[in-house]
Amino acid sequence: TGFSQGFDAQAVELPGWRHAYSGKVRDLYEPAEAAPGESANLLVVASDRISAYDFVLDTEIPDKGAVLTQLSLWWFEQLQVPHHVVSLDVPEAVAGRAMVCQRLDMYEVECIARGYLTGSGLAEYRESGTVTGIELPEGLVDGSKLDPAIFTPSAKADVGEHDENITFEQMARLIGDTPAQRLRELTLDVYRRAESLARERGIILADTKVEFGLDATGRIVLGDEVLTPDSSRFWDAAQYEPGRAQPSFDKQFVRDWLTGPDSGWDRHSGEAPPALPADVVAKTRARYIEAYETLTGQTFTP
Ligand code: ATP
Ligand code: MG
């Protein structure tokens, strides 16, 4: 069907559409009348699933899929890059959380731009002074600003496995030199534009991951979701203070609870994490909505 083995999700039945693939968060459908793998368009439905530490949790965050979809749609309009959204003519059951998109032949790389050093970038820097092979100045700390922002690709891993940071040269070997250069350019364009829009709203866009693919005519098109709390690190500019972990508009409550004493879970045990308590769910939901409302200046209506 053109899709690899995906996440084993309980995708809903939708009239006129056939389930084709599920990632950790999104379910993809093809028009029922088209032969598998052949349709020009796909229905991309964002579920309320949440993943942390490479596990899809048993607990869902109500409205998360709608928030991610609405925020992505808002960004697609702000960015001046060709994107995959075709229409919002979607089945009633998934209204708000779904969009009809061009089917793309996705590049198997995650295109990451970092304007601040943290996460896996910081870990590599502490080991080697580099991030995906790019040498950085000495003395940087958690949260240090990187000026200019850097492009740090990673190779997409299968479900349950960790994406792996790769150098630009490795990326060029995987997808070709010219496409690699173009994706780097586009990714840094997206980052710069989004960073400046977010900054006007008091939010620092520390880093972001985007995915591109080729459309039927061979044009490079921005796909997947964009600039959501799942794909990006958003920090409150008012509380920014390099040298420590920054409070962020994302899964922080989930990660903190999972790794804290109350969950009884050991991240390195290989076992699936436990269900989330109601207050962690409620706080996480509120955080996603706050990110949407702060960035777009609009009220979220479920
Ligand atoms: P994956 O399942 O690829 O390992 P994931 O768990 O992050 O990653 P999701 O984000 O939940 O997956 O699912 C979205 C999937 O749909 C991703 O594999 C993404 O590359 C793919 N995708 C996004 N937009 C398109 C598109 N326009 N055409 C084809 N595939 C797309
Ligand atoms: Mg994804």
Chain segment 78-92, per-residue pLDDT in tens: 998 999 999 999 999
Strands 51-52 and 203-210: unpaired
Convert 225-236 to b/e letters by CB count within 10 Å (16 or more is b): bbbbbbbbbbbe
Tens digit of pLDDT for each residue in 106-116? 999 999 999 99
The predicted complex's ipTM stands at 0.96
Tally of CB atoms within 10 A around 118? 21
Q: Mean per-residue pLDDT for 282-292?
A: 95
pLDDT at 218 over 90: yes
Global pTM? 0.94
pLDDT at residue 68, as a whole number: 97
Q: How far is the CA of 184 from the centre of ligand 1 (A)?
A: 19
pLDDT at residue 163, as a whole number: 80
Residue 2: pLDDT band with limits 50, 70, 90: low
Q: How many helices (H) and strands (E) does the chain have?
A: 6, 18
Judge if the beta carbon of residue 25 lies within 6 A of ligand 1.
yes
Instruction: Say if CB 184 and CB 111 are below 8 A apart.
Output: yes
Residue 4: pLDDT band with limits 50, 70, 90: low
Instruction: Say if CB 56 and CB 208 are below 8 A apart.
Output: no
| Lowest mean per-residue pLDDT among 10-19, 66-75, 188-197, 272-281 | 10-19
pLDDT at residue 1, as a whole number: 46
Given ligand 1 and candidates 8, 24, 84, which is best to mutate, with the most ligand atoms within 8 Å of its CB?
A: 24
Judge if the beta carbon of residue 6 lies within 6 A of ligand 1.
yes
pLDDT at residue 108, as a whole number: 95
Strands 212-214 and 220-222: antiparallel
Rounded distance, CA 237 to CA 195, Å? 12
SS3 94: helix
Residue 179: pLDDT band with limits 50, 70, 90: very high
Tally of CB atoms within 10 A around 192? 15
pLDDT at residue 5, as a whole number: 66
Judge if the beta carbon of residue 222 lies within 6 A of ligand 1.
no
Judge if the beta carbon of residue 174 lies within 6 A of ligand 1.
no
Ligand 1 atom closest to the CA of 26, numbered from 1: 11
Instruction: Say if CB 112 and CB 98 are below 8 A apart.
Output: no
Judge if the beta carbon of residue 86 lies within 6 A of ligand 1.
no
Phi, psi (degrees; rounded to nearest 5) at 292: -60, -50
